[in-house]
């Protein structure tokens, strides 16, 4: 069906949108349990409270990571050049993310196997690192993508990354990392406000409100820095949007503040980042009024708008090159073939709705608060 009704240009746009949807789904669904891991040392003061906190996400954290797998798979199949450059250029950063993510199942599965306080404290530390490190490094990666990554291609389209791990930890990227940490801490705090009660809930609300305000301030600072500091990229001439993928056939210029020229040309674009800031502020206010579920929805909207802002600002670029701007990867020259995109779209149309239905059913079954009596009566509790 997709091959008959969509041309190559449209398929590329659809998969650019779908990639954004998958990244947003990962940030929203896996983001709150990463945020819970970050909040664990502060909202839970004893072993019983820590068990309650962990069991709010215990039944769902593994399922939430399906969006991470889908996002990686979509990049691999739909945008192979992007996959090759990013996963090789960010190799050591990705390795740190992987090592941190490995700590999560270790912490969850083995924490309750031994009752020794030191053992459980170590498991709690692993769960904190498993939430904090990936959240920080995902934001750092986004910050580097916005600035441009040092890579180029040779005549045979082999990619060469010329940066380093320390080079990724530049000031703007670290700011984006802090934005990510504050954003998902807010998201995790609103989830705990929904799923817990008593002291844990009150602490979660307090720290979520602080994180929400920090997110708003850091997000605004990041926007100002993009407008007046870091360089953006501009395509100098129109491209054949239905041509075969080849990142060597274009001309790109780079200049400070270039990303914001499209906001000057299309002021309505400001609605997306504004929606993110308003949603975050609304989540902070709703946490104080008892509308915790609505606060979580507002937090999810803030996460979605923040990621959408990045994609909208950079379009049609998906990975600029800071050293060879003409070799930057764009929607029009970094995708797979029309046949591949069409087959993938057909598969996505079948399986993504099934995943959504199953996920909705799981959360419906697991609705309600987690309390100390809940975990004491369950043999499967962590």
If you average pLDDT over residues 150-171, what whole number do you get? Answer: 89
Burial classification of residue 187, based on how many CB atoms lie within 10 Å of its CB (0-12 exposed, 13-18 middle, 19 or more buried): buried
Q: What is the pLDDT at residue 379?
A: 66
If you average pLDDT over residues 124-150, what whole number do you get? Answer: 94
pLDDT tens, 292-303? Answer: 999 999 999 999
Tokens representing 184 are: 């998902």
298 in any annotated domain: no
3-state SS string over the chain? CHHHHCCHHHHHHHHHHHHHHHHHHHHHHCHHHHHHHHHHHHHCCCHHHHHHHHHHHCCCHHHHCHHHHHHHHHHHHHCHHHHHHHHHHCHHHHHHHHHHHHHHHHHHHHHHHCCCHHHHHHHHHHHHHHHHHHHHHHHHHHHHHHHCECEEECCCCCEEECCCHHHHCCHHHHHHHHHHHHHHHHHHHHHHHHHCCHHHHHHHHHHHHHHHHHHHHHHHHHHHHHHHCCEEEEECCCCCCCCCCCCCCCCEEEEECHHHHHHHHCHHHHHHHHHHHHHHHHHHHHHHHCCHHHHHHHHHHHHHHHHHHHHHHHCCEEECECCCHHHCEECCCCCCCHHHHHHHHHHHHHHHHHHHHHHHHHHHHCCCCCCHHHHHCCCCCC
126 in any annotated domain: yes
Question: Over 70: is that where the pLDDT of 1 sits?
Answer: no
255 in any annotated domain: no
Task: Give the list of residues 6+ apart from residue 103 with CB closer than 8 angstroms, or none.
Answer: 126, 127, 129, 130
**Pairing between β-strand 252-256 and β-strand 317-319 as defined by DSSP bridges:** unpaired
Q: What is the pLDDT at residue 61?
A: 87
Please name the residue that has the structure tokens 């779209």.
345
Q: What is the pLDDT at residue 290?
A: 86
Q: How far apart are the first and last CA of the chain?
A: 46
123 in any annotated domain: yes
Determine contact, residues 80/336, Cβ cutoff 8 Å. Answer: yes
Question: Over 70: is that where the pLDDT of 239 sits?
Answer: yes
> CA-CA-CA-CA torsion for 161, 162, 163, 164, nearest 10 degrees?
90
51 in any annotated domain: yes
pLDDT tens, 8-19? Answer: 999 999 999 999
Determine contact, residues 335/12, Cβ cutoff 8 Å. Answer: yes
Tokens representing 212 are: 């929400």
296 in any annotated domain: no
Q: What is the pLDDT at residue 2?
A: 44
At 164, is the pLDDT very low, low, confident or very high (cuts 50, 70, 90)? confident
369 in any annotated domain: yes
pLDDT tens, 182-235? Answer: 999 999 999 999 999 999 999 999 999 999 999 999 999 999 998 888 899 999
**Mean pLDDT estimate for the chain:** 90
Range of the domain at 108: 13-226+334-376
242 in any annotated domain: no
Question: Over 60: is that where the pLDDT of 323 sits?
Answer: yes
Tokens representing 177 are: 């990392």
Tokens representing 61 are: 């954290």
Q: What is the pLDDT at residue 215?
A: 97
- How many structural domains comprise the chain? 1
Distance CA 179, CA 273 (A): 13
If you average pLDDT over residues 137-151, what whole number do you get? Answer: 94
> Is pTM beyond 0.75 here?
yes
Question: Over 70: is that where the pLDDT of 176 sits?
Answer: yes
pLDDT tens, 98-115? Answer: 999 999 988 888 888 888
Q: What are phi and psi of 233, to 5 degrees?
A: -130, 150
C-alpha angle 242/244/246, rounded to 5°? 120
Question: Over 70: is that where the pLDDT of 3 sits?
Answer: no
Question: Over 90: is that where the pLDDT of 288 sits?
Answer: no
Pick the residue with more confidence: 242 or 189? 189
If you average pLDDT over residues 73-94, what whole number do you get? Answer: 88
């Amino acid at each position: 069906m997709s091959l008959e009704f969509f041309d190559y240009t449209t398929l590329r746009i659809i998969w650019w949108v779908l990639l954004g949807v998958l990244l947003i789904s990962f940030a929203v669904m896996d983001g709150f349990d990463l945020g819970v891991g970050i909040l664990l040392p502060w909202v839970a003061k004893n072993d019983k409270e820590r068990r309650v906190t962990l069991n709010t996400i215990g039944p769902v954290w593994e399922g939430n990571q399906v969006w991470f797998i889908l996002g990686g798979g979509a990049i691999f199949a739909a945008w192979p050049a992007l996959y090759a450059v990013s996963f090789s250029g960010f190799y050591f950063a990705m390795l740190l993310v992987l090592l941190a993510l490995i700590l999560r199942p270790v912490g969850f599965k083995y924490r309750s196997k031994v009752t020794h306080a030191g053992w459980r404290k170590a498991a709690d530390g692993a769960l904190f690192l498993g939430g904090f490190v990936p959240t920080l490094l995902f934001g750092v990666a986004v910050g580097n993508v916005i600035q441009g990554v040092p890579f180029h291609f040779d005549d045979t389209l082999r990619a060469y990354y010329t940066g380093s791990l320390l080079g990724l930890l530049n000031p703007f990227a670290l700011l984006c990392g802090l934005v990510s940490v504050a954003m998902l801490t807010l998201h995790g705090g609103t989830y705990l406000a929904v799923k817990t009660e008593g002291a844990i809930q009150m602490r979660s609300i307090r720290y979520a409100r602080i994180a929400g305000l920090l997110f708003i301030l850091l997000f605004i600072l990041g926007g100002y820095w993009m407008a007046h500091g870091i360089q953006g990229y501009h395509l100098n001439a129109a491209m054949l949007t239905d041509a075969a993928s080849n990142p060597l056939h274009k001309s790109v210029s780079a200049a400070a503040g270039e990303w914001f020229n499209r906001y000057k040309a299309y002021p309505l674009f400001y609605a997306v980042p504004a929606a993110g800031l308003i949603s975050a502020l609304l989540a902070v206010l709703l946490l104080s009024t008892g509308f915790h579920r609505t606060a979580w929805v507002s937090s999810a909207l803030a996460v979605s708008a923040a990621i959408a802002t990045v994609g909208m600002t950079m379009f049609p670029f998906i990975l600029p090159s800071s050293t060879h701007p003409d070799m930057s990867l764009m929607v029009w020259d970094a995708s797979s073939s029309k046949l591949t995109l069409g087959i993938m779209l057909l598969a996505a149309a079948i399986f993504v709705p099934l995943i959504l239905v199953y996920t909705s059913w799981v959360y419906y079954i697991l609705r309600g608060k987690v309390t100390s009596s809940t975990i004491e009566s369950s043999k499967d509790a962590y």
